[in-house]
Amino acid sequence: MKKNQKLTIKEKLKLLVLNGQFTTYDLDGKISPIELSDGPNGIRKGLVEESEQVNIHCYPALSVLGNSWDREVIYNVGEAIASDCIDNNIDIILGPGINIKRTPVCGRNFEYFSEDAYLAGELASEYVSGCQNRGIGTCLKHFAANNREYDRLFRTSEVDLRTFREIYTKAFEMVIQKADPYSIMCSYNPVNGINASENEWLLRGILRRELQYEGVVFSDWGAVHNHALAVKASLDIRCPYSTNSELELKDGIKKGIINEVYIDESVNRILELSDKVEKARKKRSPLDDTDRYNIALRAAESGCVLLKNENGLLPIKAKKITVLGELSESPSYAGGGSAEVVIEKKRIKSLVQCIQEINPETEIYYEKLYSRENCTHRTAGVRVFNEPKGLSLAYDSELTILIVGDTFSEETESMDRTSIKLNAHLEKLICNVAQKTKKLVVVVEAGSAIDMTAWIDKVQAVVYTGFAGEAINEALANILTGKTNPSGRLSETFPRCLEDTPIGGKLENPYADRYKEGVFVGYRHYVTNNVPVLFPFGYGLSYSTFKYSNFNVKEIKKQEYCVSFDVENISNIDGAEVCQLYVDNIDMKVERPRRELRRFDKIYLKSGEKKKVSFHLDKDCFAYFNICYNTWHVDEGRYEIIVAKNVNTDIFMKKIYVKQF
């Protein structure tokens, strides 16, 4: 007898909505309740007071993890977050987020891995596996096409089928196949005119039938407009508790919108999830606290991107340096909204302290210089003070480090950025400091792409940390001093200006977001349309130098190839290289991007070490979604395989002819 046959209809209806904010019903002890928590980069559990002991960590934002391109690092972060959940009796963490960065102004871009679906799918699979292998479930979000925060509950995403499958659901498909997440969260926005929570084509059609997902679907918090329509669409649990839930369900039954068959489908999935969670609790084993911090540190280091390093200014060689900027003491370690993690201030060291611990003989001067408190792009902005003293220190020092960036009030849930430039006061400050020193390192703490054109040519080095979690300053100090070699690569393009992006800088329609650019999102747009960028997708510098050689492309069987090559570290510094492989369909029968990322690997090489890298290319590497056949399809013809340092810097290119079956 199925478990749900022992439940009354009233009990079944109760299961379809949360019991409060973050807990499922236990039906008076009949089933095990499930505890949920926000927190793709750490448990969202605020401190009541500074002295309170809460065993949580703030890990780098998913955008930083995306910049790491490191599967092992991200798997370990999943394990660490699971450990925090175990300590706090959490069963499912509401993450990771794998929405595509369609525009750099999206307020939640810091919560997402990439502008590329393949990269996002690969990395998110590691996060999910690391978390769930420790006995904590995940909730993949937000399904689907939630790529702006502006008016997200009502503004419909109008997207064609091919674009939807290739760009906006591909990462979900990959994670479902590779890691089988416990649950998925639907998005707030309507998709093609119908609310995601009640969209039968989206949930029952695409997610259940096409992507073959069998787990529980949660709504986003407050995303359900009509619970009966949501159940019909195959949404399982409405979040949070709503007094309207039972009334809407009963009314839906009365009107014939749903019946007990629909209800039982959801109830069965919820009961299966409850059983899975109960079994997982018995095998949980958390990592110790030191291991978790070290994971946060390694992830922050791995996702730190060196964007400019003129004349090898870094790592620091100077013995007398100046550190400027409030963020060096109170860094932007996380974004805002449901991903905000509040931790004890003592967890975060100042940058000056971190550098001195590595190089105690270095003479360091510090000036706060500005305050970001209560300032956003929408208010008066930065309050600058003691600029003359800061400029004087910069003039007298051998090297100056200026830390700037956005804060959690500027990059946050429920609102988009109004600009991708830094605050105008900060831009002016950078230029003023640059006039006083010829050795200026600018550190940028932000959640997405930044337009640096106003000042990039005036400074000698740029380091992009992102929102790198509680270990941000220690990781930054390690990078600046050379204790750690930078190895991050951009998982999103940095455009020269907002107007160069695929959808430009203006909101064309306040009621509908029309995805007219189709599949030409991110680097697919810039490369195909020959649009110059500030920094391309996959870009990042290292203190090491790598040499590629012995390229070989071998056909294994029809539509399958092996690409191999050697990578050697020819410098005297240990380092890591991100090897990237792109494919271009030369004889395209439908319009396609000039190149698409199909394989990557991050390899660590000691000085003088050489390793062989091999990539297996299957038919998926050459396929596009054919709307006529409603399936993935490979056209016969010439393709070009490109091994590259980034999407714009080719190392090896080879044309092949792919045959039809």
Active site members: 220
Question: Helix, strand, coil shares of the chain as percentages rounded to 5?
Answer: 30, 25, 45
Q: Are 401 and 324 in contact (CB under 8 A)?
A: yes
Category of 596 on φ-ψ map: left (φ > 0), alpha (ψ -120 to 50) or beta: beta
How far the first Cα of the chain sits from its last, in Å, is: 47
CA dist., res. 32 & res. 279, Å (int) = 10
Altogether, the residues listed in the chain come to a count of 661
Query: Could you tell me which residues come within 8 angstroms of residue 581 by beta carbon, excluding any fewer than 6 positions away?
Result: 563, 597, 598, 599, 600, 615, 617, 641, 642, 643, 644
| Secondary structure (H, E, C), 339-390 | HCCCCCHHHCCCHHHHHHHHCCCCEEEEECCEECCCCCCCCCCCEECCHHHH
Query: What string of H, E and C letters represents the secondary structure of 174-196?
Result: HHHHHHCCCEEEECCCEECCEEH
At a CB cut-off of 8 Å and minimum separation 6, what does 427 contact? 421, 454, 455
Residue written as token pair 């130098």 = 545
Q: CA 563 → CA 9, 55, 70, 633, distances in Å?
A: 58, 46, 20, 22
Contact predicate 334/410, CB 8 Å: no
Cα gap 289→17, rounded to integer Å = 35
DSSP bridge pairs for 614: 564
